[in-house]
Structure 1
Amino acid sequence: MKIYHNLSEFTKLDNAIVTIGTFDGVHFGHQKIIKQLVEKAKTDGGESVILTFFPHPRMIIDPENQDLKMINTINEKAEILKSLGVDHLIITPFTRDFSNQLPDDYIKNTLVNNIGTKHIIIGYDHRFGKDRSGNLADLKTAGLHFGFTVEEIMEQDIHDVAVSSTKIRQALLAGDVSLAADYLGYPFSIFGRVIKGDKIGRTIGFPTANIFVEETYKLIPGDGIYAVTVEMNSDLTVTDSKTTSENPTVNLKPLTFKGMAYIGQRPTINGMTRNIEVNIFDFNREIYGQDIKMNFLKFLRHDVKFTGLEALTVQLQKDKEATLNYFASLEK
């Protein structure tokens, strides 16, 4: 999949099959639409194109409202779309000037002149242009003039997409990562850099990697303890030695570890900031400055203030046992 961070980077296609949206989460509902897009491109001998926007339009239109958090960062979204077989992803910077285009100008300049749209798959309630005044009927009328066809995504499918996005966010905020995974079709994850903490975990036998998530718009699950897997690259990457003379390329595979993650303000030590930490099992290397990915698999318990570090240590041992039992159950 080719990725473009501006329409000016994109070279107009002869037969672009297009859909438009934010696709936050790229969940089952989105995947249904994207599968439809990819199959249509193959059938018509065209190329599939997703036009998405960053930042999210609501962040620009209503900048005072900081409540909206994204299930995916833009890079996470791109990786998932790539795995679904999309040919081109255009990430258009969403600005007030962009939002103030007249609907006819948006269709002519963006969809026709820049992309080369021949077929567009779009929701019945899609709005675009200044004051969101453009609609499906405008697209169909323009299609007759510019020579592209419009395929409408049915109301129920759009409703399912909207409901799923809302339910995923609600589930994650409540800590229900299992339900979120059911809607997403994959485990929710956090990608961040390991930074130095105060090393209290080391003193009680549970050293943790403190995770810094750069993207402030990324949704963080509710406070508590979670069973997770941790993926690492960099100098911890291992090499697949199964190569042949016909396939001499060496494949690099990230290492994956089991662990338990903590999200919260560490009330037992009167913490003042919300932390994201992970205790990685069977691991004792320094990884400060490395980027890691945490996949959230199961919620174990809510955050609790204990009487002291001794009581906290006893509970952490129980948490580790619960986490190991969870992973053991997956292997049966």
Structure 2
Amino acid sequence: MIILNNCFERINDTTVITIGTFDGVHKGHQKILKRLENVKQEKKLKSIVFTFYPHPRKIVQQYPEIKLLSTKDEKIQLLQQYRIDYLMFCPFTKEFSNMEPEMFVKYLADCFHIKHVIIGYNHRFGKERKGDVYTFISLQSQYGFEVEQIPAETINEIDISSTKIRNYLMKGDIEQANQLLGYSYFLKGKVIDGKKLGRSIGIPTANIQIEDRDKLIPPNGVYCVDVIVNKKQYKGVMNIGVNPTTDHDFSQKIEVHILNFNDDIYHQEIEVRFIKRIRDEIKFASIDALKNQILKDIQECSL
């Protein structure tokens, strides 16, 4: 997969293209990506996923505080499994957002020699989001490409969207979010120094620093997780919160106890996959009471 970061790079191959933000690469996106792969093989075309960085809503909305399901690096990781030939991260700017929909289609046709366009049922683009699948259909004869619309993907009559998944995650409903994603929601971060309180009570934790401030962090609480360290998977218990029993600075911390693991992983990047939320963060009367509860959490997450 060739990654492009300049909107005006040209591709000499004839292509099949799909366009979207692909935040989270959820089940709805996956249907589009599988169809992209099939058309690529059927028509002997090169495939392009055309997406944007930063997320368009951070540029065009008055209060751009959207939290993302996947960082740029995570999105690359998720897309790699679909045998995509070109992944375009088009820098999204105010100027780009003001491009008329018809000019955007012309730009795609000129730069990428598109022969087939696959587009989601609700995708909007161009100035004031006036463009949609019918814009492509109205111009397909002029530019010589075929348009294919992917209808709403539903599970139990619930439409899948990145917004719905964000809402589930922000409520702590990990299992419902994972169902719509088609995989376990995850985050990556570097292990940094902490107070080592966990180690002092026999339950060491890895404190994780998330570099991308736009990454959606589920709400404070305790979670059963899987942890990927050096390509090996372990069960774990993660706490997200302010550690009210021991700390008084009210700053959010993300730390995970990895079961049956005692290696030194300071300054390494690890991946944490959320399985389920098991309880709220609680202020305990003593360190012993905290330890007893953590041992119960470990037992629940080890099943």
- TM-score normalised by the chain length of structure 1: 0.85
Q: Give the match for residue 7 of structure 2.
A: 7
Q: Give the match for residue 146 of structure 1.
A: 143
Please say if residues 29 and 161 of structure 1, whose CA atoms lie closer than 8 Å, have aligned partners that are also in contact. no
Q: Give the match for residue 245 of structure 1.
A: none
Q: Give the match for residue 182 of structure 1.
A: 179
Deviations 1:8-39 (A, max 9, x none): 4x442432111100111111111111111111
Over 3 Å counting, the alpha-carbon distance change for 1:37 and 1:161 in structure 2 is farther
Deviations 1:102-160 (A, max 9, x none): 22322222x11211111111134433222223333332232211211211223x34998
Q: Give the match for residue 240 of structure 1.
A: none
Q: Which has the higher helix share?
A: 1
Distance 2:123 2:182 in 1: 25
Residue 222 of structure 1: how far off its partner (Å): 1.8
Q: Give the match for residue 203 of structure 1.
A: 200
Residue 161 of structure 1: how far off its partner (Å): 8.7
Residue 47 of structure 1: how far off its partner (Å): 1.5
Distance 2:210 2:285 in 1: 30
**Residue in structure 1 matching 2:268, options 290, 301, 306:** 290
Over 3 Å counting, the alpha-carbon distance change for 1:133 and 1:272 in structure 2 is same
Is 2:300 the partner of 1:303? Answer: no
Over 3 Å counting, the alpha-carbon distance change for 1:41 and 1:193 in structure 2 is same
Q: Give the match for residue 237 of structure 2.
A: 260
Distance 1:31 1:204 in 2: 44
Q: Give the match for residue 166 of structure 1.
A: 163
Q: Give the match for residue 21 of structure 1.
A: 20
Q: Give the match for residue 193 of structure 1.
A: 190
Distance 1:305 1:64 in 2: 34
Please say if residues 2 and 88 of structure 1, whose CA atoms lie closer than 8 Å, have aligned partners that are also in contact. yes
**Which stretches in structure 1 are left out of the alignment for 5+ residues?**
234-253, 327-332
Residue 63 of structure 1: how far off its partner (Å): 5.3
Over 3 Å counting, the alpha-carbon distance change for 1:290 and 1:36 in structure 2 is same
Residue 292 of structure 1: how far off its partner (Å): 0.6
Structural RMSD (CA): 2.0
Distance 1:283 1:232 in 2: 10
Distance 1:129 1:308 in 2: 57
**Residue in structure 2 matching 1:77, options 68, 75, 78:** 75
Residue 64 of structure 1: how far off its partner (Å): 2.7
Q: Give the match for residue 62 of structure 1.
A: 61
The one-letter amino acid of 2:58's match is M
Residue 163 of structure 1: how far off its partner (Å): 3.8
Please say if residues 208 and 280 of structure 1, whose CA atoms lie closer than 8 Å, have aligned partners that are also in contact. yes
Residue 179 of structure 1: how far off its partner (Å): 2.0
- Percent identical pairs in the alignment equals 42
**Residue pairs, 1:20-169, within 5 angstroms:** 20-62=19-61, 64-66=63-65, 68-109=66-107, 111-154=108-151, 156-157=152-153, 163-169=160-166
Q: In structure 1, the residue corresponding to 2:251 is in which secondary structure?
A: coil
Distance 2:59 2:159 in 1: 20
**Residue in structure 2 matching 1:275, options 227, 248, 253:** 253
Please say if residues 120 and 148 of structure 1, whose CA atoms lie closer than 8 Å, have aligned partners that are also in contact. yes
Over 3 Å counting, the alpha-carbon distance change for 1:174 and 1:103 in structure 2 is closer
**Residue in structure 1 matching 2:216, options 200, 215, 219:** 219
Over 3 Å counting, the alpha-carbon distance change for 1:317 and 1:180 in structure 2 is same
The one-letter amino acid of 2:235's match is K
Q: Which has the larger displacement, 79-88 or 129-138?
A: 129-138
Distance 1:14 1:129 in 2: 25
Distance 2:186 2:199 in 1: 25
Distance 2:237 2:122 in 1: 42
Over 3 Å counting, the alpha-carbon distance change for 1:221 and 1:141 in structure 2 is same
